[in-house]
Amino acid sequence: MTALPGARPVRAARGTTLTAKSWATEAPLRMLQNNLDPDVAEDPDNLVVYGGTGRAARDWASFDAISRELTDLEQDETLLVQSGRPVGVLRTHEWAPRVLIANSNLVGDWATWPEFRRLEAMGLTMYGQMTAGSWIYIGSQGIVQGTYETFGAVATKLAASGRHQHSGGSLAGTLTVTAGLGGMGGAQPLAVTLNGGAVLCIEVDPHRARRRVETRYLDVVADSLDAGLELVLAAKKDRKALSVGVIGNAAEILPELLRRGVEVDIVTDQTSAHDPLWYLPTGVSLEDWHDYARAKPDEFTDRSRVSMAAHVEAMVGFADAGAEVFDYGNSIRGEAQLAGYERAFDFPGFVPAYIRPLFCEGKGPFRWAALSGDPADIHATDRAIIEMFPENEGLQRWMRLAPEKIAFQGLPARICWLGAGERHLAGLRFNEMVASGELSAPVVIGRDHLDSGSVASPYRETESMADGSDAIADWPLLNALVNTASGATWVSIHHGGGVGIGRSIHAGQVTVADGTELAAQKVERVLTNDPAMGVLRHVDAGYPEASAAAEKVGIQVPMAQS
Ligand code: NAD
């Protein structure tokens, strides 16, 4: 795509010299810049960070204005950002967030892709995805532990169901087939190989596939489907971990694999199906893709949905043949259903299938980034986490694997799944490490919007809730209010992330640990209350595991069933 006017390379400053007036404003400035670092963003010239068109700012003039305002912002001021454009600076107080962000929100009846695009073309909004428009994207690493845990849960399920008895709970001896090697989907091959399995990844864009090899997420790109299959089937037979990319359209290749009777154990998908203009239909070339989508969005949407229906039909075919099949949070089932494919929802989403028990404890992808830019700071925090949670085996395994296997993109960062009763301990420890000089500069602490208490997303985080409350969207709004009231440094409310316009409402927070006493108080409250919202959301929906978690960590529930 041609670059937006004003495009140029952006990279966050490193070190301890401030451009802004305090770390509370330097932090959002560096994280905004970091989201657009060419090593981090998928298409920085167009301000696209990941996930189809997930942007960090509306246009380059808005980017410049946000940067300018953050540079000048005082400790008792708050910058308001409306879908990537700074719209006001208001006097608040030092406990208030320095930035409040609302992205892509539309009134219910108007919440459709065509209406969103009409408004976007008029320059009135932008698509913020989840962490793109809330300035806490950290590259493919941001998703990799979640993907790793999900594939680990699949391995455990396969072993327990007797379908794969000799695996010892790993994916050794299994073949996974998936598609999409973009910003988030690119984590899949590494997540499978970290679990010991073989994986074939279908991707239409050779540049995307090569990028994953360069960043060590994918082992190799095969010259052809046959060559790729030979490699992964040999790895499956030898119980070796191997990830292989093949270039092609998933809507053609997956049905072809089914026709050939290839023995696939696990099937999922992370193409950008949430936005039909970002899923390439069969019969359209890579070169024509975006011009065609721009010129004839309705026709393109119809064609892309028909292809998604063929893709999902093949996924159902694999499920019928006994494979473990799941929707990986991109809404492909919903799109296939819109094309008239009736069995689209015959396989589950990954949250009800594997993740909900973790959500009941407020667990989810917790992350932090070193504003110094020094990898040593992250390695010091890695050691701190390993010391702090010795009893958590999964976490211990992850925290030992991650430094060895994960290449940093942009500012060094780390992710791990921690829940209620844990996150504030980590945050306070990091703040102490900044105060003592163990870390060379402050860190920012945030999380994904793929989260237990800050998302309403009936095709994903809140699919099949026990009480049927899938579409209730009060929770993310309460979450944003609670984080604002607790001292977060920036707070955001988004619509449409992950699964597309009309299908989700979600909120984010990022808090700076700058080593001060004030930061300690804010960090403790935010990192206690934010995951507590996840526990409360699931207590309210009737999950006994959530009630147990609330009791364990002392979260008050006014109408608890006793
Ligand atoms: P992205 O836009 O960076 O990448 C999507 C990739 O899919 C691109 O590389 C594109 O070339 C490829 N693709 C498109 N059509 C294809 C086709 N027909 N066949 C093969 N490849 C095709 O998006 P991303 O950041 O990787 O996110 C992927 C999807 O996953 C999005 O829908 C996103 O909302 C969702 N998502 C899921 C999670 C999760 O935890 N499950 C988290 C974040 C995002």
Residue nearest to atom 38 of ligand 1 (CA): 329
pLDDT digits (tens, 9 = 90+) for 345-397: 999 999 999 999 999 999 999 999 999 999 999 999 999 999 999 998 889 98
Calculate how far, in angstroms, residue 143's C-alpha sits from the geometric centre of ligand 1: 12
pLDDT at residue 178 in the model: 98
* Angstrom distance (rounded) from CA 14 to CA 377: 12
* Angstrom distance (rounded) from CA 120 to CA 210: 31
The stretch 297-326 carries a mean pLDDT of: 98
Q: Which helix (H) or strand (E) holds 148?
A: helix 141-160
Ligand 1: residue of 271, 351, 503 to mutate (most ligand atoms within 8 A of CB) is 271
Ligand 1: residue of 131, 144, 150, 184 to mutate (most ligand atoms within 8 A of CB) is 184
pLDDT digits (tens, 9 = 90+) for 185-212: 999 999 999 999 999 999 999 999 999 9
pLDDT digits (tens, 9 = 90+) for 482-541: 999 999 999 999 999 999 999 999 999 999 999 999 999 999 999 999 999 999 999 999
Calculate how far, in angstroms, residue 423's C-alpha sits from the geometric centre of ligand 1: 29
Q: Is the pLDDT of residue 149 over 90?
A: no
pLDDT at residue 157 in the model: 87
Across-strand partners of 367? 415, 446
* Angstrom distance (rounded) from CA 299 to CA 304: 9
Separation in Å, CA 405 to CA 36, 144, 205, 215, 399? 23, 11, 24, 10, 10
Q: Give the nearest ligand 1 atom to 186 CA.
A: 26
**Amino acid (1-letter code) at residue 548:** A
Q: Ligand 1 pocket, 128 CB below 6 A?
A: no
Q: Is the pLDDT of residue 11 over 80?
A: yes
**Amino acid (1-letter code) at residue 317:** G
pLDDT at residue 172 in the model: 95
pLDDT digits (tens, 9 = 90+) for 273-290: 999 999 999 999 999 999
Q: Give the nearest ligand 1 atom to 130 CA.
A: 43
Tracing tokens 């006793």 back to the chain, one arrives at: 562
Q: Ligand 1 pocket, 280 CB below 6 A?
A: yes
pLDDT confidence tier of residue 476, bands split at 50, 70 and 90: very high
pLDDT at residue 166 in the model: 58
Q: Are 247 and 253 in contact (CB under 8 A)?
A: no
pLDDT confidence tier of residue 545, bands split at 50, 70 and 90: very high
pLDDT confidence tier of residue 169, bands split at 50, 70 and 90: confident
Q: Give the nearest ligand 1 atom to 253 CA.
A: 19
Cite the DSSP H helix spans in 406-542. Answer: 423-436, 474-486, 517-540
The pTM of the full predicted model, rounded to 2 decimals, is 0.91
Q: Are 434 and 374 in contact (CB under 8 A)?
A: no
pLDDT at residue 272 in the model: 95
Q: Which helix (H) or strand (E) holds 198?
A: strand 198-203
pLDDT at residue 236 in the model: 97
pLDDT confidence tier of residue 168, bands split at 50, 70 and 90: low
pLDDT at residue 394 in the model: 83
SS (H, E, C) 260-329: CCCCCCEECCCCCCCCHHHCCCCCCCCCCHHHHHHHCHHHHHHHHHHHHHHHHHHHHHHHHCCCEECECC
Q: Is the pLDDT of residue 102 over 70?
A: yes
Across-strand partners of 418? 364
When mean pLDDT is compared across 104-113, 384-393, 421-430, 553-562, the lowest value belongs to 553-562
Q: Ligand 1 pocket, 274 CB below 6 A?
A: yes
pLDDT digits (tens, 9 = 90+) for 59-97: 999 999 999 999 999 999 999 999 999 999 999 999 999
416 is catalytic: yes
Closest alpha carbon to 240 in 278, 199, 204: 199
pLDDT digits (tens, 9 = 90+) for 122-142: 999 999 999 999 999 999 888
Burial of 224 per CB tally in 10 Å (0-12, 13-18, 19+): exposed
Q: Is the dihedral of CA 394, 403, 182, 272 positive or negative?
A: positive
Average pLDDT across the chain, whole number: 96
The stretch 277-305 carries a mean pLDDT of: 97
Q: Which of 171, 312, 406, 416 is catalytic?
A: 416
Separation in Å, CA 64 to CA 2, 57, 58, 215? 20, 9, 11, 29
Tracing tokens 């099937």 back to the chain, one arrives at: 267
* Angstrom distance (rounded) from CA 59 to CA 541: 40
Calculate how far, in angstroms, residue 185's C-alpha sits from the geometric centre of ligand 1: 5
* Angstrom distance (rounded) from CA 376 to CA 392: 24
pLDDT at residue 2 in the model: 84
Calculate how far, in angstroms, residue 547's C-alpha sits from the geometric centre of ligand 1: 35
pLDDT at residue 165 in the model: 59
